[in-house]
Amino acid sequence: MRKIGILGGTFNPPHIGHLIIASEVQEALELDEVRLMPTAIPPHKQLPDTATPIQRLVMTERAVQGNEYLSSCDEEVHFGGVSYTFNTMQRLLAKEPDAEFHFIIGGDMVDSLHTWFKIDELIKMVRFVGVHRPGTLRKTNYPIQYIDTPLIDVSSTLLRTKYALHKTTTYLVPESVDSYIRQEGLYGTC
């Protein structure tokens, strides 16, 4: 049975924090792979009008290049609409019935897990893996396996601001992602 991690998010843009979390969880749980899966339309937050779902998918593909344990997953972007994890995992389990899925979430998502669509059914489908995020409590009544990862206080919001102000993002995003952002004129870089 393949053990697959899923790290969902907007990835607007993907950054070093996402990659560290994916890598640390993959190693700690000895997962066969971790897939970074951008949402089409996130149910829990409003996306700023910046990168399209396809652009965010391309950025995740670029971010994981060269890492044999990390990949990009296009399931939610190509399905479209609001990306409910329950629906996505139903589709993935139908495609890969022999896989054991570990859904990786940050402390902010742990704190709001009770609000997720069909959460009581979802917890029977996947194993939730929680990682700490600054400013979160990590409190829930749902079963979560916690993995300690290095705390990197960087966010996509911070990066969008830095790009808009023409400040350095060196070492915060992979070079291939940075070059794509500049090539596409995203986040005010043009």
Q: Which pLDDT belongs to residue 136?
A: 65
Looking at the predicted structure, is the pLDDT value of residue 186 above 90?
Answer: yes
Mean of pLDDT values over 4-32: 97
3-state secondary structure 74-113: CHHHHHCCECCHHHHHHHHHHHCCCCEEEEEEEHHHHHCH
Three-class secondary structure of residue 96 per DSSP: coil
pLDDT digits (tens, 9 = 90+) for 151-177: 888 999 999 999 999 999 999 999 999
Residue 106 dihedral angles phi and psi, to the nearest 5°: -80, 170
Looking at the predicted structure, is the pLDDT value of residue 47 above 70?
Answer: no
- Taking the CB of residue 119, how many other CB atoms lie within 10 A of it? 15
Helix (H) or strand (E) holding 70: strand 70-72
Instruction: Report the mean per-residue pLDDT for the chain.
Output: 92
Mean of pLDDT values over 118-145: 87
Mean of pLDDT values over 129-148: 83
Model confidence at 139, pLDDT cuts 50, 70, 90, reads confident
Q: Which pLDDT belongs to residue 130?
A: 93
CA torsion angle 113 119 125 131 (round to 10): 0
Looking at the predicted structure, is the pLDDT value of residue 135 above 90?
Answer: no
Q: Evaluate if pTM is beyond 0.85.
A: yes
Looking at the predicted structure, is the pLDDT value of residue 142 above 70?
Answer: yes
**Structural domains of the chain in order of their starting residue, each with its CATH number:** 3-151 (3.40.50.620)
pLDDT digits (tens, 9 = 90+) for 107-131: 778 888 899 999 999 999 999 999 9
Q: Which pLDDT belongs to residue 118?
A: 96
Q: Which pLDDT belongs to residue 143?
A: 93
The answer to whether residues 111 and 136 touch, using CB atoms and an 8 Å cutoff, is yes
Residue 38 dihedral angles phi and psi, to the nearest 5°: -70, 145
Model confidence at 49, pLDDT cuts 50, 70, 90, reads low
Q: Which pLDDT belongs to residue 24?
A: 97
Mean of pLDDT values over 48-71: 94
Looking at the predicted structure, is the pLDDT value of residue 20 above 70?
Answer: yes
